[in-house]
A and B are shown apart, each in its own frame.
Chain A
Amino acid sequence: MRYVLSLLVIAVMVAVQTSPAAAMAGYRETFQKEFLSEPWAGDREESDACIECHASDIIKSEFRAIPTEWKQSWHYQNDVSCHSCHGGDPKDAATSMDPHRFFAGTPKPAQVPEFCGKCHIGILKNYQESGHGMALKSSGKGPNCVTCHGSHNIQQASIDIINEKLCTKCHSYERSKVMRQALFLTEKKIEELNNRLKQLKTEGMAADEEEKSLFGTYGEFRALFHTEDVSLVKKRTDEFTAKLDIIEKRIQDLFDELRFRRNVSAFLALIFMGMGAVILLIAKTKKT
C-alpha cells in the first residue's frame, strides 16, 4: 500500500511541475547550449564576430557558406580559426575587419602562397622553387595552393589530390602520372602506418611519440613533393623509406606488446575459470 502512496506523491509532483514545460521543440539545442556554452566548457571561437556575420543574411550569399565549409575542414579539427589566416579581431565586431588589426581579407591569386605560407613555411619554400610556383610568379598565371587543396573546406592532403581531373586543368596528365608513381609506395606506407596508429589508439594504447615522428617524416616528404622535381623525390625516397621502416618497427613492437598483454589476461582468465570449475565440483562432491 505504501509504495502506491509514494507513487501518488510523484504524480502530484509531476502535475505541479510540468506547467512551465510547454516548449518541447528546440529543447535539445537549448540543452546543449546551456550545458556546453558555459564558461567552463572552454572558449571555442564558434561564437565569434566573424561567424555571427557570415552566418546571417546581412552578408552576400556567396560568403554565407564559408562557416559551414570551414566546419567540415581539417583546419577546424585542428583549431585553426578565421583570424588565424585572415587576421582581424574576432572578439570585437566593430574592428573585426580593421586593417590596423592585421585584417588581411581575401588574397589575390598571386598572393595565396604567401598567405598560406605564413604557417606552412617549409612547403612554401619548396613550392616557390617549383614549376608551379615559378609560373605563378613570372606570369601571374599558375596553380596556387587553393587550385589543388581548395580553400575553406580544406581536407588533410592525400595522394589522391594528384588526379586526372585536377591536373588536366592546366597540362597533360602524363607528367603528373610520373610524379604520382614516384610517390605512390611511400604514400601508401604512410597511410598504412597512420591507420595502424589509429587502431592502437582505439585499443587504449597511446603512441604519441610514434605519431609525432610519423607526422614529422611525412610532413617533410610532402614538402619535398611541392618542388615538383621527380628526380629529387626519387633520389630521396630511400632515405624516407628507411625512416618509415624505423617507425614501422616501433609500431609493430607496440602491437606485439598488446598481444602479450592479451595473452597474460587470457591466461589469468583461464586460471580463474578453472578454479571456478574445480570449486563447483568440490561443492557437488559428497564427503566420503
Chain B
Amino acid sequence: MWDKIIGWFEVRIGIGELVKEGLDSCRAPKNVSIFQTIGCAALAAFVIQVFTGFCLLLYYAPNTEQAFTSVQSIMQDIPYGWLFRTMHVVGGALLLVTMTMHMLSVFVMGSYKNPREMTWIAGGLLFFTTVFFAFSGNLLPWSQLNYWQTTIATAIPSSFPYAGEFITEVLRSGGQMSALTLNRFFALHVSFLPFVFFLLLVFHLFLVRRIGISSPPFGTEPENTSPRTAYRKETYPDGHPVYPYFMVRAAFMVMVYLSVLFLLITFLPGLFLPEGSVIQANPLKTPAQVRPEWYLLAPYQMLKLIPNKFFTLSVQVIMGVLFIFWPFFDARKEGNILKRPLLFGLSLSVITLWLVLTIWGRY
C-alpha cells in the first residue's frame, strides 16, 4: 500500500530520482574531518532560532508599554512559553559560538583559499548578520538589563567624528533611546535581518555544493591546492558518499549541539537571563554596572583601555574588513597552518587577546 502511494508520486514528480542524482554527484573527500560538520550544526541552530522566534512572535507585543509584560507572561503564564523563550535566548548565544567554531575550523584547515574565497566572504557576512540579530533581539524584552546594554552599545559609534553621531541617531531613531528604537530593532530582527540572512545562506550553501566539500590539508592525500583557472567541481571518486557517511556525522554534530543547548538550560538557567532581565526598563535609573552583551565585551573593553576612541574604533573596523576579505590577504598556497608558524602564532594571540578582553570586560 505504502509503496503504491510513494510510487504514484514518484511517477509524477520524480523526487526520488532527483535526490538520488543529487546525492550521487556529491561526495566527500576520503580524509574529511568531523570538524567539517560544525557548519551543519550551525545551520540546525539557525533553523531552531527561526522556529522558536516564530513561537515568541505569537505572544510578543512590540511596544514599550507591553513588551516587558508580554515577555514575562510568555515566561510565566503561557504553557511552556519558558521553554521556547529560553531555547531562543540560549540558542542565539550558542549560534554565535557555533558559527565561530565553524569559522575557526575553516581557518585552521585553510579551506577559504582559492577557489573558496567567496564562500568565506558570504560566511563572514552571515556572521556579522548574526551579531546584528543578537544585538537587535536583545532590546526586545525591554528589561532594565537589555535597555541599558543597548544604550551603551548604541553609544559606541558616536565617538567617530562626523558620521558617528549620525550612526547613533540612525540606530536609535533620534538622539535618545525611545519607543521608536524598539520599533526599529523589532523590524530589523523579524523582517529585515531574516531576509538578508536567508539570501546569504542560500548563496553560501550554493557555493559549498557547487565547488564541493573541501579536503583538509592534514590527511595523506591533500587536495590539489594549485590556483584554478577554470571551474571544476571536486568529485573525489575514491572518497566517501555524502549520504550516509557525511550526513551521519553531521547528525551526530547536531545532537551534540542540542545536548549542549539543553544542558545549559538545565544547569545554568540564569546565565543569559540574569537578575536585571526580570526588571522592567527604567530610562531614568541607570543600574550600577552597565556592560554590553558578552560578544561585544572585547571591543568594549578595548575602547575602555585605549585612550583614543577614534583610533580604537578605526582599528576595529579595519580588523573587521581584514576578517571579511582574509582570503585575499592570505594568498599563499600552503594550507597546513602548522607549517606556517607566523600565521599560527598570530591567530592564536588574536584569539587569546579576544578571550582575555572578554573576561576582563566581564569583571
Hey, which bits of chain A sit against chain B, CB under 8 A? Answer: 1-6, 9-10, 13-14, 17-18, 20-24, 27-28, 31, 34-36, 38-44, 79, 201-206, 208, 258, 261-262, 264-266, 268-269, 272-273, 275-276, 279-280, 282-283
Contacts and interface: CB of A to CB of B under 8 A. Distances in A.
A261 B82 contact: yes
6 contacts: A9-B318, A43-B284, A44-B284, A44-B286, A206-B278, A275-B255
Interface residues of B, number: 58
A40 B175 contact: yes
Contact of A17 (B86, B303, B311): B311
A132 B258 CA distance: 64
A281 to B, nearest CB: 10
B348 interface: no
Interface centre among A5, A28, A43, A269 (most CB of B within 10 A): A269
Interface in B132-172: 151-152, 155, 159, 172
Given A13-B314, A31-B304, A279-B251, A42 B259 contact: no
Interface majority SS on B: helix, strand, loop or mixed?
helix
Nearest to B283: A42
Contacts of B283: 42
The winner among B266, B270, B285, B332 for most chain A CB atoms within 10 A is B266
Which of A36, A258, A272 counts the most chain B CB atoms within 10 A? A272
Nearest to A279: B252
A282 B307 CA distance: 57
A211 B290 CA distance: 24
B240 to A, nearest CB: 11
Main SS class of interface, A: helix
Interface in B227-269: 248-249, 251-252, 255-256, 258-259, 261-263, 265-266, 269
A23 to B, nearest CB: 7
Residue from A4, A79, A261 with most neighbouring chain B CB atoms (10 Å): A261
Nearest to A260: B82
Contacts of B311: 13-14, 17-18, 21
Contacts of A1: 332
A18 B307 CA distance: 9
B51 to A, nearest CB: 15
Contact of B314 (A17, A28, A35, A269): A17
B285 A42 contact: yes
Nearest to B321: A6
Contacts of B315: 10, 13-14
Contact of A265 (B255, B262, B274, B278): B262
Nearest to A37: B286
B338 interface: no
B307 A21 contact: yes
Contact of B310 (A17, A27, A40, A44): A17
B25 to A, nearest CB: 22
B296 interface: no
B278 A21 contact: no
Nearest to A276: B255
A157 B94 CA distance: 43
A283 B303 CA distance: 48
Contact of A6 (B72, B155, B322): B322
Contacts of A5: 329
B305 to A, nearest CB: 9
A261 B342 CA distance: 49
Given A39-B176, A272-B258, A283 B274 contact: no
B172 A204 contact: no
B104 interface: no
Given A3-B330, A258-B269, A262-B269, 6 more contacts: A2-B330, A13-B314, A17-B311, A44-B286, A269-B259, A276-B259
A14 B290 CA distance: 29
Going nearest first, the 8 A-B pairs with the smallest beta carbon separation are A276-B255, A269-B262, A204-B273, A206-B278, A17-B311, A272-B258, A21-B308, A265-B265
B307 A23 contact: yes
A14 B155 CA distance: 24
Contacts of A272: 255, 258-259, 262
